[in-house]
A and B are shown apart, each in its own frame.
Chain A
Amino acid sequence: MSAIFYLLAVITLAGGLATVLLKQLVHCALAATVAFAGLALLFLQLDAQFAGFAQILVYIGAVAILIVFAILLTHGSHMPKDGVFSRSWALGLVIAAGVFAILGWAVLAGISAVPRQNAPPSATVRDIGEALVGRYVLPLEIVALLLTAATIGAVVVAMHEKASPR
């Protein structure tokens, strides 16, 4: 466990916590971007270069921008009068803490079974490309179809409603 891992973990988790806790929606979006960037750096730390750069491109480049656009289009920068947390926030906190307790217990209980440090695997972009058009070609096509459908669906859903008689 290197110091870099702890630093990146702290950055990622602080970004996540700030996302959930900050009041201004724009600040939430910025904190989420920090968390996404921390995760991308963790991927790079795990020798998964392709996944790390895909994370940067997709999340910081696209999803964060989408979120900011959605905040602008829904006038989310106005502060709500009666707080940003729902009435049942305590229940949500309890559920989240319970889920973390179970997951953490599972990890710590299985700590003797997890593999030790091994040599960093080599996954060049060439390997990944050959796997994508070889063994994983069907999932690749399905994802292409899904992205097309999602693009059309997002446009259709967010288009102006026709003026309907009330």
Chain B
Amino acid sequence: MTTPLAGYLLVAALLFAIGLGGALARRNAIVVLIGIELMLNAANLNLVAFWRFGPLPEALTGMMFAIFSIAVAAAEAAVGLGLIIAVYRHAGTAELDKIDRMKG
């Protein structure tokens, strides 16, 4: 591996795959949400790595994209965990395969 950018991209790809596997394979809604957060973070790592090694870093585009992405991910985590708490209160469980009714 000669270029540093490829190393960062591979780490991000592996982290994305780990997060995706966690989101798809776990039963608890909270771990699924953490998996989604890991995927968002892997995308952020890609953005920052492309900013660092890209042709025009003075424009700060990738950095800004990562900062806005962090803000949006924080909002998503707050609403997602609020939803999980509401569902837990309603259904009595946070296990996703036990929540199989849409009727209240």
Contact = CB atoms under 8 A, between A and B. Distances in A.
Interface of A: 1, 5, 9, 12-13, 16-17, 19-20, 25, 28-29, 32, 35-36, 39, 42-43, 46-48, 50-51, 54-55, 58-59, 62-63, 66-67, 69-71, 73-74, 76, 80, 83-89, 91-93, 95-97, 99-100, 103-104, 107-108, 111, 114-118, 120-121, 123, 127-128, 131-132, 136, 139, 143, 146-147, 149-151, 153-155, 157-158, 160-161, 164
Contacts of A39: 15, 41, 44-45
Contacts of B28: 25, 76, 80, 84
Interface of B: 1-11, 13-28, 30-31, 33-35, 37-38, 41, 44-45, 48-49, 51-55, 57-58, 60, 63-64, 66-68, 70-79, 81-86, 88-90, 94-97, 104
Contacts of B16: 99-100, 103
Given A32-B37, A74-B85, A103-B13, A86 B74 contact: no
Given A19-B22, A32-B37, A143-B71, A5 B13 contact: no
A50 B25 contact: no
Contact of B25 (A54, A93, A107, A116): A93
Given A103-B17, A111-B6, A118-B53, A35 B38 contact: yes
24 contacts: A1-B7, A5-B4, A5-B8, A9-B7, A9-B11, A13-B18, A19-B18, A20-B19, A46-B49, A70-B84, A74-B84, A76-B28, A76-B30, A84-B28, A95-B21, A95-B24, A96-B17, A111-B3, A115-B3, A128-B60, A143-B71, A147-B75, A150-B74, A164-B104
